[in-house]
């Protein structure tokens, strides 16, 4: 596969194609990236068109139908309140994707700035920023997210903040390391010599050149964020009921697994597929954007 | 080497101080007043004020932190606001359960991960290789609490082979020596307890170790693929060594350095994962103690447990650093 991608890249070079065309060619040549992308497109489609695709109202209780296994009326069965699990799983994709992407965006925004400042200025700024990052990394991230949620209370936005904050150090570290290696390059010295200020040096000349590892990390980071959001929901610290969210559905259905195992099977499968899509996409992007990281 | 270890140990002090401060500050932003939790919402203002005074909550926060640190250094993490029992005693009582679970998980992950990764690399692009990589992808994508629930459904509910919760059956507990039931049963020669403890341990350990198994397998495969293409491997083959010796002695040994680091890093994720696994399997360890504390709004309990887990995490990372520098002496000079 790698050889195929390499040949394609060389071919592009000879035929004079630009970097974007080369990226697309490499991306299409990567099996894992393509499988991940297709899976992700299906998930986004399900999330966007959930109101059309869902056969029932995901919030409507129907107690006489409670805990029914998969049948012709309810393909994935019903939960402890008689709600249709397929409809709730479809709606749940909205929350999971939203939390995953928003949390990573928050972490990226803070992590890139902090990492760039630490790497660019070094000295006391570096020691102070990375000291705080090291302390945050001294806790397993899910434990830190649990602590934040305990303090802040439940809710989608709070889950985004908790997961976003605990992910900052990972991005800060990657950006700092990349900035440290890039800032010594001759073109940065040249940019400084012609009078660019620090802000311009960081944002225009340095950051665009360290984007590859950041994009790869962020893609895989979304899968981690989705897993953490599901874990918070499972522990009863995620969204407020009756919002349909996969982790919360698993947590609520836990008590019924002896009589109705289907209640936890489908939301869990949905989490696994979503996380797998981002992992595959991340692995593929890593091969395409930065083969050295492989 | 000793200089390197001393430097690392000294660095541990500010990090541990930071960990304690972070835990304390986060937990003191807690919205529920501990006095209210103990006395209930209908307590008189005077009674609540008296209790806050008694608990030292009226003091400035830095004084409270100072008091907490002095007590923590002396091994006293305070009392649970709900049960009034010593948090240190409860953590010590539960600690072996988490250690036993984490050790079993890391053993499973290491053995399975290295074996699968090595075979995959040796038989690159075979059905076994593809199969292992798909399973490894599933391993990193599946939430461990869901895997735990699925295991309970299959092995406890459907097949009835394994118990779904707890650490050992009532009345089967071996004499307490280390607190690790498997080890204690072997030491006391109590094979009935061993078998029971083993049956209780296998599902939580497999669930907890699943993510690490996948990561270690992927890492071993990647480093082995690089290693077995080196010239010295070709030389080893050329001088007539058996394939087994070439792979295990010349290949695997040299591929181990990054794998050891990954194994060390997995200890941290195991501690985080323990919170979820212990909840699913009602495992009486520190993880379930944290979750019970959260549910009961018992913040000193959460604070104590989080502090302990943070400390273990930092110390384990230090041990991994030292081990790493022992395996690869170039690290000390970086």
Any residues with CB less than 8 A from the CB of B290 and at least 6 apart, and which? Answer: A143, A146, B275, B301, B302, B305, B306, B309
Contact A223 B141 (CB under 8 A): yes
pLDDT tier at B84, thresholds 50, 70, 90: confident
Chain B residue numbers with beta carbons less than 8 Å from the beta carbon of A234 are 143, 145, 276, 279
Residue B43 has pLDDT above 80, yes or no: no
pLDDT for residue A293? 46
Average model confidence (pLDDT) across chain B: 86
**Min Cα separation B150/chain A (Å):** 7
The confidence score (pLDDT) of residue B135 equals 93
Of A138, A237, A272, the CB nearest to B15: A138
Is residue B213 pLDDT above 50, yes or no?
yes
Q: What is the mean pLDDT of residues A219-232?
A: 93
With CB atoms and an 8 Å threshold, state whether A143 touches B222.
no
Cβ distance B207 to B144 under 8 Å? yes
Q: Mean per-residue pLDDT for A118-126?
A: 91
Overall average pLDDT of the A181-208 stretch = 87
Reported as a pLDDT band with limits 50, 70 and 90, residue A161 is very high
Instruction: Spell out which residues of chain B touch residue A142, defining contact as CB-CB under 8 Å.
Output: 272-273, 275-276
B98: Cβ contacts below 8 Å, ≥ 6 apart: B271, B274, B278, B283, B285, B286, B287
Give the mean pLDDT of B52-81.
83
- pLDDT attached to residue A294: 43
> Do B137 and B219 meet the contact criterion of CB atoms below 8 Å apart?
no
Confidence check: pLDDT of B334 > 50:
no
pLDDT band at A273 (very low <50, low <70, confident <90, very high): very high
Look at residue B252 in the predicted model and tell me its pLDDT.
85
Q: Which pLDDT score is estimated for A169?
A: 93
Nearest to B321 by CA among B273, B265, B252: B265
Dihedral sign, Cα of residue B173, residue B175, residue B179, residue B185: negative
| Residue B193: pLDDT over 70 | yes
Residue B297's pLDDT is what?
77
Residue B304 scores a pLDDT above 70: yes
A35 at interface of B, judged by CB pairs closer than 8 A: no
Is residue B146 pLDDT above 90, yes or no? Answer: yes
Confidence at residue B110, expressed as pLDDT on a 0 to 100 scale: 93
Angle at B13 between CA B9 and CA B16, to 5 degrees: 115
Among B166, B148, B96, which Cα is nearest to B280's? Answer: B148
Q: Say if residue B8's pLDDT is above 80.
A: no
What's the whole-number mean pLDDT along residues A29-56?
93
A143 touches B: beta carbon within 8 Å: yes
For the segment A239-260, what is each residue's pLDDT rounded down to a tens digit? 888 888 999 999 988 888 888 8
**Is the confidence at residue A1, as pLDDT, over 60?**
no
Q: What percent of chain A has pLDDT over 70?
A: 93
pLDDT band at residue B320 under the 50/70/90 scheme: confident
Closest Cβ opposite residue B143 in set A261, A271, A294: A271
Window 200-259 of A: residues touching B by CB (8 A cutoff) are 223, 227, 230-231, 234-237, 247, 250, 254, 257-258
Mean pLDDT (whole number) for B28-48:
69
Q: Who contacts B189 (Cβ-Cβ below 8 Å, separation ≥6)?
A: none
Is pLDDT of B189 > 70?
A: yes
> What is the per-residue pLDDT across A132-151, written as a single tens digit (0 to 9) for each?
888 888 778 888 888 888 77
Sequential DSSP letters for B131-181: HHHHHHHHHHHS-HHHHHHHHIIIIIIIS--S-SSSSS-TT-PPP-SSS-H
Please provide residue A57's backbone torsions phi and psi, each rounded to the nearest 5 degrees. -70, 120
What digits encode the pLDDT tens for the residues A279-294? 999 988 888 876 554 4
pLDDT higher than threshold 70 for residue B37: no
- What's residue A17's pLDDT? 66
Q: What is the mean pLDDT of residues B112-141?
A: 93
pTM of the model: 0.86
pLDDT greater at residue A172 or residue B12: A172
- pLDDT over 80 at B257, yes or no: no
Q: How far is B15 from chain A (nearest CA, A)?
A: 6
Contact A272 B23 (CB under 8 A): no
> Chain A closest CA to B30's CA: distance in Å?
5
pLDDT-derived band at A12, boundaries 50, 70, 90 = low
CA A186 to chain centre: 35
Specify the residue for token string 């990090």: B15
Mutation test of the interface with chain B: which of A4, A231, A238, choosing the one with the most B Cβ atoms within 10 A?
A231
* Mean per-residue pLDDT over chain A, rounded: 87
Out of B138, B268, B295, closest to residue A140 by CB: B268
Residue A3 has pLDDT above 70, yes or no: no
The dihedral formed by the CA atoms of A160, A162, A167 and A169, expressed in degrees to the nearest 10: 140
CB nearest to A227's CB, from B23, B143, B271: B143
Radius of gyration over every alpha carbon of chain A, rounded to an integer in angstroms:
22
């Amino acid at each position: 596969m790698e050889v195929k991608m390499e040949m394609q890249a060389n071919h592009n070079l000879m035929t004079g194609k630009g970097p974007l065309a080369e990226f697309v060619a490499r991306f299409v040549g990567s099996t894992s990236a393509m499988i991940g992308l297709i899976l992700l497109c299906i998930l986004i489609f399900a999330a966007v068109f959930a109101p059309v695709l869902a056969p029932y109202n995901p919030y409507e209780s129907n107690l006489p139908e409670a805990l029914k296994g998969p049948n012709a009326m309810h393909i994935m069965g019903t939960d402890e309140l008689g709600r249709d699990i397929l409809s709730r799983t479809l709606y749940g994709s909205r929350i999971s994707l939203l939390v995953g992407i928003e949390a990573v965006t928050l972490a990226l925004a803070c992590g890139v700035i902090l990492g760039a400042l630490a790497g660019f200025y070094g000295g006391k700024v570096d020691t102070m920023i990375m000291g705080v990052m090291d302390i945050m990394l001294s806790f397993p991230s899910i434990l830190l997210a649990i602590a934040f949620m305990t303090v802040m209370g439940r809710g989608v936005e709070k889950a985004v903040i908790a997961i976003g904050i605990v992910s900052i150090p990972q991005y800060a570290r990657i950006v700092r390391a990349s900035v440290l290696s890039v800032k010594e390059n001759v073109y940065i010295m040249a940019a400084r010599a012609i009078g660019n200020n620090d802000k311009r040096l960081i944002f225009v000349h340095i950051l665009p050149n360290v984007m590859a590892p950041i994009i790869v990390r962020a893609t895989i980071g979304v899968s981690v964020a989705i897993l953490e959001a599901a874990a918070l929901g499972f522990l009863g610290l995620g969204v407020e009921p009756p919002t349909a969210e996969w982790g919360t559905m698993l947590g609520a259905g836990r008590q019924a697994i002896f009589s109705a195992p289907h209640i936890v099977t489908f939301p869990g499968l949905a989490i696994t597929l979503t996380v797998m899509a981002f992992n595959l996409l991340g692995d593929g992007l890593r091969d395409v954007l930065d083969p050295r990281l492989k | 080497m000793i200089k390197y270890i001393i430097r690392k140990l000294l660095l541990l002090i500010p990090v541990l101080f930071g960990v304690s401060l972070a835990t304390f500050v986060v937990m003191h932003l807690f919205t529920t007043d501990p006095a209210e939790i103990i006395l209930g919402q209908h307590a008189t203002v005077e009674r609540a004020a008296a209790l806050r005074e008694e608990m030292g909550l009226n003091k400035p926060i830095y004084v409270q932190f100072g008091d907490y640190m002095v007590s923590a250094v002396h091994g006293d993490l305070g009392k649970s606001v709900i049960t009034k029992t010593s948090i240190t005693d409860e953590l010590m009582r539960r600690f072996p359960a988490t250690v036993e679970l984490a050790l079993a998980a890391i053993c499973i992950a290491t053995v399975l991960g290295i074996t699968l990764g090595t075979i995959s690399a040796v038989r690159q692009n075979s059905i076994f290789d593809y199969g292992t990589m798909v399973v490894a992808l599933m391993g990193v994508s599946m939430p461990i609490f869901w895997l735990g629930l699925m295991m309970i459904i299959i092995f406890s509910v459907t097949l009835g082979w394994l118990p779904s919760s707890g650490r050992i059956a009532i009345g089967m507990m071996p004499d307490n020596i280390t607190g690790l039931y498997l080890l204690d049963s072997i030491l006391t020669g109590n094979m009935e307890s061993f078998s029971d403890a083993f049956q209780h341990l296998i599902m939580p350990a497999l669930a907890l170790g699943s993510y690490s198994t996948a990561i270690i397998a992927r890492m071993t495969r990647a480093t082995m693929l690089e290693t077995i293409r080196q010239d010295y491997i070709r030389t080893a083959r050329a001088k007539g060594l058996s394939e087994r010796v070439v792979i295990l002695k010349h290949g695997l040994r040299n591929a181990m350095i990054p794998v050891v680091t990954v194994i060390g890093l997995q200890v941290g994720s195991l501690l985080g994962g323990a919170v979820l696994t212990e909840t699913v399997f009602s495992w009486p360890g520190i993880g379930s103690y944290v979750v019970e504390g959260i549910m009961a709004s018992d913040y000193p309990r959460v604070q104590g447990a989080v502090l302990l887990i943070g400390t273990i995490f930092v110390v384990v990372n230090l041990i991994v650093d030292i081990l790493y520098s022992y395996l690869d002496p170039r690290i000390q000079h970086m």
